[in-house]
Amino acid sequence: MFIINYNNIGDIMNDKLKKVGLTALAGSLAASTAYAGEVSVSGSWGVAYQTKDSTEVTGNPLTLDDSITFSGSGDTDQGWTIGMSYELDSTGVLDDLKATLDMGDQGKLTFGESAGGSGVRAVKNIVPHAVTPVYSMTDTTTAWGTARGTNQTGYIGYDLTVGDLMISADTSKDTGGTDRSIGIKYTGIDGLTLVAGSGELNTAQASGEEQSTIGFSYAVGGVTIGLQQSEHDDESSSNADETGTYAGISFAMNDNLTLSYGQQEIEFDATTKTQDETNSGLAASYTMGSMSVTAWAGKTENPNGSSTAADLESRKVKLAFSF
């Protein structure tokens, strides 16, 4: 199991990065007044049709989703880039504010009101998939089987790339406690990517939970294979520990069409969960410029370790546009 002690890292991330990062961000904002900034608008729109087996509540199988992101950026005298973004989704709420300070060779800081993509989130999905990981296809299981990363508001992330090595760390803190994690990625061997990550969740929902992940992917020609194992250790009860092993393969038929298959096994320490959960699925993605068509079929056996619960099946086709 890959675990890192966070007693000192948490203090460094919370006390040092926040002070240094915010001070640098404020100073850089003041120093960049002589430079014209850039503002851009991007977004996506999609319509999907999803069916599930008779044991699930299906509701309306037709769904629409859309989002618009407003972004702005500018350069400082030091050559750093300051960025900010807001997202407007189908609920009509303007949220998910993020501010970034890209310091080039010195790394990149991210501040957000919600969880970002640094730390263990940067390395949690190394297994190739054409559309979505197999554990999210049926979307009804309560088992995790993968590293979740930090969950809370008040998010700070830091990413640094040195040659073929990427190091990513994050932390977040609110009234529920403190989350922190770190992820490492190495790409120094042609076609091979190695990842490892570790984190600690200390929220009201997952008090004292430690998580770790390790995996690899290897690409040759149009074929990519991957294997990843993730663990969750609940300090309050070893009976709640989980271990997920995820393997997958994808094949790029051409520049537009990609196919994939994946399977994940989740083992439970709980005596009440007598079976391993199995998630598997096939997926396909076809892109035509800014338009894409995706489809997948997924199945969950023994959901959440239950030997009596019915298997879950789900199929989805989606047409999406981006601009």
Instruction: Decide if pLDDT at 319 tops 70.
Output: yes
Instruction: Decide if pLDDT at 125 tops 60.
Output: yes
CA 173 to each of CA 75, 91, 236: distance values in angstroms, whole numbers, following the listed order: 29, 26, 20
- Of the pLDDT bands very low, low, confident and very high (cuts 50, 70, 90), residue 18 is very low
Q: Whose CA is closest to 245, among 271, 273, 216, 219? A: 216
Instruction: Decide if pLDDT at 117 tops 70.
Output: yes
Instruction: Decide if pLDDT at 57 tops 70.
Output: no
Q: Is the pTM of this model over 0.85?
A: no
Q: Which residue in the block uniquely carries the two structure tokens 């890292």?
A: 9
**How does pLDDT run across 66-85, given as a tens digit for each residue?**
889 999 999 998 899 999 99
Per-residue confidence (pLDDT) for residue 55, from 0 to 100:
62
Report the pLDDT averaged over residues 6-24: 45
DSSP 105: G
**How does pLDDT run across 200-237, given as a tens digit for each residue?**
876 555 556 788 999 999 999 999 999 999 988 877 66
Per-residue confidence (pLDDT) for residue 204, from 0 to 100:
55
Instruction: Decide if pLDDT at 33 tops 50.
Output: no
Per-residue confidence (pLDDT) for residue 2, from 0 to 100:
42
Distance of CA 205 to the CA centre of its chain: 19
Per-residue confidence (pLDDT) for residue 10, from 0 to 100:
45
**Domain residue ranges in the chain:** 7-322
HSE-CB for 78 with a 13 A CA cutoff: 16
- Of the pLDDT bands very low, low, confident and very high (cuts 50, 70, 90), residue 155 is confident
Output 225 or 56, whichever has higher pLDDT. Answer: 225
**How does pLDDT run across 238-288, given as a tens digit for each residue?**
667 889 999 999 999 999 999 999 999 999 888 788 889 999 999 999 999
- Of the pLDDT bands very low, low, confident and very high (cuts 50, 70, 90), residue 309 is confident
- Of the pLDDT bands very low, low, confident and very high (cuts 50, 70, 90), residue 292 is very high
Per-residue confidence (pLDDT) for residue 123, from 0 to 100:
92
The answer to whether 292 touches 320, Cβ cutoff 8 Å, is yes
At the fourth CATH level, the homologous superfamily of domain 7-322 is: Porin (2.40.160.10)
What is the spatial distance between Cα 221 and Cα 252, in angstroms, rounded to a whole number? 9
Q: Angle CA(187)–CA(191)–CA(197) in degrees, nearest 5?
A: 40
Report the pLDDT averaged over residues 48-71: 81
Per-residue confidence (pLDDT) for residue 36, from 0 to 100:
58
Per-residue confidence (pLDDT) for residue 102, from 0 to 100:
96
Mean pLDDT, all residues of the chain:
82
What is the spatial distance between Cα 108 and Cα 80, in angstroms, rounded to a whole number? 10
DSSP 138: S
- Of the pLDDT bands very low, low, confident and very high (cuts 50, 70, 90), residue 127 is very high
Per-residue confidence (pLDDT) for residue 28, from 0 to 100:
45
HSE-CB for 120 with a 13 A CA cutoff: 30
Q: Whose CA is closest to 323, among 290, 292, 293? A: 290
**How does pLDDT run across 80-109, given as a tens digit for each residue?**
999 999 888 777 777 788 899 999 999 999
